[in-house]
Amino acid sequence: MKPEAWAEELRRRANKKKEALHRQLSQPLTFIQKAIVDGASTLYFDVFRQRPKIDQESAALAREKFGRYFPATVEEMLVELLNDPNAYAQKVEEYEKTCPPVPVEFPTNPAHYRLITRDPSRQIQEVLTQLALLSNFPSQDGKYYALDIGTGYGRLARKIEGTLKGLFNGKRDFKVFGMDISESNIEDAKKLNEETVSEIVFFVRDMNKVPFPSNTFNLVNTTDASYLNFRHRRPFYIAEIARVLVPEDGRGCITNPNEKTTLKEYNYLMMRSNYKTYMNPLNIMRSTVLGRCSIHIDGLVRGRPDWEITGTRDMANTLKRALKAEIVDTCDWPEKGGPAIYSEFTFAVNNKTKKALLKYMDFREGQRESENWFNIERGQ
């Protein structure tokens, strides 16, 4: 089968799977499922009096200072960055001297992380990434470069590589990269590469500094990771994606929890769409690592403005108005049965985007040497 025809067939299958997953995610919550989530929450927070360990003093300082440094929306922050990259970078530095950001290590060791990647709410992310790839395949020059940011053990990078292997059918005109800030997640990713004979290039970096020349990638994906990036640094991350995408039809795909996400709604959704998995005692034990991490993140998101989640409308405006990109696909889930707590945006950059980025691209070129960028040029 020709690659174009195979891509069309994959698109048909992926859309079918997406619909099936939406249906699965829209199941209503039963009385028992709700009672289990409510009971566990009461036991943990009220009976055992467990609280996320947030430094309240520094959180109060961040609440006092944040609004003095930064505008209300990520869209406005990105406009500031694009207008004067040096001034924005300096402002970030000054704010962080007063209010050092609080990072959270998010372990994606497959031993426990695979438990949640079986959830339909994660399965749909894989389908959406695949659809983003298929939305601009084949590329104009016949090659395809993809980057997965906040890759963890490489779940989405593997989905991308698997899809491209099928489409290129033995030809080696594609390359997949996966980057993450966590050394141990990247170690796990590399280990899995050996077991699965995969050629994805995994490396450790912060998503706010993508170490590639401008106009390199056909697809940049970030699933469930950029909400962990500090709010005032998100403009860097978004500008970086737009910078490294090729101007002719490059695709970004970003999936995140949204402003409607609460710990309880998240647990309700997992229970109603994957009830049996979470009733297995071994899995309950496995999920405690991730549970503790999620409780901590939830505390930060609610307690610190530099952790506040980007709202869905703000994200759409950031892409459309500040970045001049075109939104190719967007969806929220679940569609029914409870609040839609996840949002996906697939967008296309174009020449207007690149024009809006001119000062920013210059600013990044100036940092190239000191950051040791990958020495790949398209076509090598």
Ligand X SMILES: C[S@@+](CC[C@H](N)C(=O)[O-])C[C@H]1O[C@@H](n2cnc3c(N)ncnc32)[C@H](O)[C@@H]1O
18 binds ligand X, rule: CB under 6 A: no
Choose which of 14, 59, 147, 155 interacts with ligand X (CB under 6 A): 155
DSSP 318-380: IIIIIS--EEEEEEEE-SSSS---EEEEEEE--HHHHHHTHHHHHHHHTTHHHHT-----TT-
Q: Which is nearer to ligand X, 180 or 298 (CB)?
A: 180
Distance, CA of 26 to CA of 366 (rounded, Å): 49
Q: Which is nearer to ligand X, 168 or 224 (CB)?
A: 224
* In the complex, minimum distance from the CB of residue 191 to ligand X, in angstroms, rounded to a whole number: 15
- Residues 249-270, buried b or exposed e (16+ Cβ, 10 A)? bbbbbbbbbbbbbebebbbbbb
The dihedral through the CA atoms of 107, 108, 113, 116 has a sign that is: positive
10 binds ligand X, rule: CB under 6 A: no
Look up residue 285 and give its amino acid.
Answer: M
Q: Give, as ranges, the residues between 188 and 247 that touch ligand X (CB under 6 A).
A: 206-207, 223-225, 228-229
Q: Which is nearer to ligand X, 107 or 339 (CB)?
A: 107
* In the complex, minimum distance from the CB of residue 6 to ligand X, in angstroms, rounded to a whole number: 26
156 binds ligand X, rule: CB under 6 A: yes
Q: How many residues of this chain interact with ligand X, rule: CB under 6 A?
A: 18
The region that residue 178 occupies, defined by phi over 0 for left and psi between -120 and 50 for alpha, beta otherwise, is beta
151 binds ligand X, rule: CB under 6 A: yes
Q: Which is nearer to ligand X, 106 or 363 (CB)?
A: 106
Q: In this chain, which stretch among 13-21, 78-86, 181-189, 243-251 interacts with ligand X, using CB under 6 A?
A: 181-189
According to DSSP, the residues that pair with 203 across neighbouring strands are 179
Distance, CA of 196 to CA of 232 (rounded, Å): 38
* In the complex, minimum distance from the CB of residue 170 to ligand X, in angstroms, rounded to a whole number: 28
* In the complex, minimum distance from the CB of residue 159 to ligand X, in angstroms, rounded to a whole number: 10
Q: Which is nearer to ligand X, 133 or 181 (CB)?
A: 181
The dihedral through the CA atoms of 223, 225, 226, 231 has a sign that is: positive
* In the complex, minimum distance from the CB of residue 226 to ligand X, in angstroms, rounded to a whole number: 8
Question: How many residues are present in the chain?
Answer: 380
Look up residue 106 and give its amino acid.
Answer: F
The count of other CB atoms within 10 Å of the CB of residue 58 is 16
| Dihedral Cα 343, 349, 355, 360, nearest 10 deg | 60
Q: In this chain, which stretch among 3-11, 176-184, 240-248, 353-361 interacts with ligand X, using CB under 6 A?
A: 176-184
152 binds ligand X, rule: CB under 6 A: yes
185 binds ligand X, rule: CB under 6 A: yes
x-or-dash pattern for ligand X, window 107-146, by CB under 6 A?
A: -x--------------------------------------
The count of other CB atoms within 10 Å of the CB of residue 104 is 11
* In the complex, minimum distance from the CB of residue 35 to ligand X, in angstroms, rounded to a whole number: 28
| Dihedral Cα 26, 30, 36, 38, nearest 10 deg | 80
Q: Which residue is nearest to ligand X (CB)?
A: 152
* In the complex, minimum distance from the CB of residue 110 to ligand X, in angstroms, rounded to a whole number: 10
Chain centre to alpha carbon of residue 176:
16
Q: Give, as ranges, the residues between 46 and 105 that touch ligand X (CB under 6 A).
A: none
Q: Which is nearer to ligand X, 7 or 81 (CB)?
A: 81
273 binds ligand X, rule: CB under 6 A: no
**Where along the sequence are the contacts to ligand X (CB under 6 A)?**
106, 108, 150-152, 155-156, 180-182, 185, 206-207, 223-225, 228-229
